[in-house]
Structure 1
């Protein structure tokens, strides 16, 4: 039989001390779970007790109209071309809790400027699903469109001025364009661009999302600069060197497919 003798420095942790340590760890874990449960329950109670409200507003701004500059935190922006000379703006605001700020300004240079901010109310903040400011805008011929959203889709139809559309998280769909300059970007979302007539270079970029650019087969020549980090790339139009091209199409996506094609 072998006997092992411990030295005076080799002392085992007493059982009561181990039990106290586990009790402390268990108490902390239980507290975290209870805090999360209270937060979730508080959010549900707040949502149930706070009614959803909505408000609509519409205005017409007389010519001359230079363009619009829209900056929306949460909401959709729909842009359409109109045949008349005036600018028509409709806004629909939906919220729970604190009403979002929606300052608007009609500048002397004929530019309509609007900002919509859902704000914050601490840990029970107005969540994106409980706050949204949507715009429906009809632009006269030649008016420029500059739109920014943090969370929300942007659509445009028939615009023929400068087009600059950017979203943080949301899709961008622009059709029937005759824009004199086109820049479209999104951090997370798909991009679809369709041109009735190309009158300038085209730039489109997405960090995460697919991009499709459709141009008319009308004899215009294009140089294409396309890059996708992870995804398939299809260039289904005739291309020429930059020095010989009427216009350049620059398309980039880090994760997503891209396609450049002729309209059917």
Structure 2
């Protein structure tokens, strides 16, 4: 009988990378990282050097039937009681790219102002507006994310914003409609408006009105609801709607 044994399998040796090739790879990575650092530093210096604040003011003469604002991601302040419409715009921007404004007056006498920042891969742009308006000039204000503050306005007002808060103080008009997706909504009315419509999906809603009788619709799906100091009557001459999905809702008489 012949006994045979399998020959031992020889170990397989992995080829070693050449030392020169590995060093070259790390040098390439280091060089790319250094270039990125230099580019980032250059852009930062350029951005800081090109930052600019520009203020533009103008008046709109003549009788107006209304003012319509479509201002993108801008903060807005409105003051009532003026003799003419006065506009003050402040642009903060870099790389020489301020917001672009367009304005016109329609045949029915409505002043329309729109503003948008240009599309930018780098840089920043931000605008803010402050307007003074006469009494009895209705306002329609729309922003995508800025805050809206209305003070002492005696006219109907409609406000819609995406993520910003809305505050109307010293209001006295026929209708106030204020709607924010994510911000708080507050209305402090000097007189009993025919109708207040205050809505927010994620923010708190608060209405402060003169004491009296109102038709009140106040609801919140997950927040608290409080009505204090006023009489809720279905036959009242004035209406208040205060709604929030997740915020608190408060309707109360002024002290």
Whether TM-score is above 0.5 comes out as yes
Partner of 2:151: 157
Q: Are positions 1:71 and 2:70 aligned together? A: yes
Shift of 1:69: 0.8
Q: Are positions 1:246 and 2:237 aligned together? A: yes
Shift of 1:246: 0.8
Compared with structure 1, are the counterparts of its residues 43 and 240 closer, same or farther at alpha carbon in structure 2 (3 Å cutoff)? farther
Shift of 1:67: 2.0
Compared with structure 1, are the counterparts of its residues 250 and 63 closer, same or farther at alpha carbon in structure 2 (3 Å cutoff)? same
Partner of 1:89: 87
Distance in 2 separating the partners of 1:94 and 1:192: 28
Structure 1 unaligned spans of 5+: 1-15, 17-30
Q: Are positions 1:199 and 2:197 aligned together? A: no
Shift of 1:74: 1.8
Distance in 2 separating the partners of 1:164 and 1:223: 20
Partner of 1:168: 162
Partner of 1:225: 217
- Conserved in 2, the CA contact under 8 Å of 1:76 and 1:154? yes
Partner of 1:7: none
Secondary structure of 1:142's counterpart equals coil
Distance in 2 separating the partners of 1:44 and 1:175: 46
Compared with structure 1, are the counterparts of its residues 248 and 131 closer, same or farther at alpha carbon in structure 2 (3 Å cutoff)? same
Distance in 2 separating the partners of 1:41 and 1:208: 43
Compared with structure 1, are the counterparts of its residues 216 and 44 closer, same or farther at alpha carbon in structure 2 (3 Å cutoff)? farther
Shift of 1:238: 3.0
Secondary structure of 1:255's counterpart equals coil
Compared with structure 1, are the counterparts of its residues 156 and 43 closer, same or farther at alpha carbon in structure 2 (3 Å cutoff)? farther
Distance in 1 separating the partners of 2:39 and 2:243: 43
RMSD value, Cα: 2.3
Shift of 1:171: 0.8
Partner of 1:21: none
CA deviations over 1:107-150 (Å, ceiling 9, x no partner): 3433221111113224x3x4xxx311111111101011111111
Partner of 1:146: 140
> How many residues are treated as equivalent by the alignment?
221
Structure 2 unaligned spans of 5+: 1-13, 15-28
Secondary structure of 1:46's counterpart equals helix
- How does the TM-score come out when normalised to structure 1? 0.77
Among 238, 241, 257, the alignment partner of 2:248 is 257
Shift of 1:82: 2.0
Q: Are positions 1:46 and 2:43 aligned together? A: yes
Partner of 1:119: 118
Secondary structure of 1:175's counterpart equals strand
Larger-gyration structure (1/2): 2
- Conserved in 1, the CA contact under 8 Å of 2:82 and 2:132? no
